[in-house]
Amino acid sequence: MKVVVIQGPNLNMLGLREQNIYGPMKLEDIHSQMEGYAKQSETEVEFFQSNLEGEIVDKIQECIGDADGIIINPAAYSHTSIAIRDAIKAVQIPTVEVHISNIYAREEFRHTSLVAPVCAGQISGFGPFSYHLAMVAMTQILSEIKALKDSQAQQAQAQKPA
């Protein structure tokens, strides 16, 4: 299994910006923790960060045929980007939206995510641990998809005439 983790604008500034909201942990530290979980769950993980909406859309599209799942923190684009929403919907790859802060406890404009309706789920408000929860959720989703496909293949095989 392969999961691509896509990080949106300003997440490269974690550890420096608004530590009262995002904490002191740097993005590299979060990725390191995710790599540890990925190794335990025999999942390949790739990381990508961009401050540019178009680059994020391109990366989502590049996941077709290359990734089994996407974990995305669109950051501020969660609330504004129809392009990112449309890209997630178009690729039809299971996607989990993640946020470090509880977006529903912040400014009202952050309460609406345009991305959430096209994702399998959203995790927010658990600090950097949100990413761990997203990895757990994604590996579970992918395991369930694999089990369903295996079951369907077994049923199809059993129905073939001998």
> Of 31, 37, 79, 99, which one is the catalytic site residue?
99
pLDDT of residue 137: 97
pLDDT by residue for the chain (162 residues), tens digit each? 999 999 999 999 998 888 778 877 899 999 999 999 999 999 999 999 999 999 999 999 999 999 999 999 999 999 999 999 999 999 999 999 999 999 998 888 888 999 999 999 999 999 999 999 999 999 999 999 999 988 888 888 888 876
pLDDT of residue 162: 66
Specify the number of domains making up the chain: 1
> Of 22, 77, 131, 132, which one is the catalytic site residue?
22
Q: Give the CATH number of the domain where residue 52 resides.
A: 3.40.50.9100
| Structural domain boundaries enclosing 143 | 2-159
Count the neighbouring beta carbons within 10 Å of the beta carbon of residue 145.
14
The pTM (predicted TM-score) of the whole model is: 0.92
pLDDT of residue 90: 98
Annotated active-site residue 77? The verdict is no
Classify residue 8 by burial, with Cβ atoms within 10 Å: 0-12, 13-18, 19+: buried
Closest by CA position to 45, among listed 70, 28, 27, 25: 70
Could you give the 3-state DSSP secondary structure of residue 121? strand
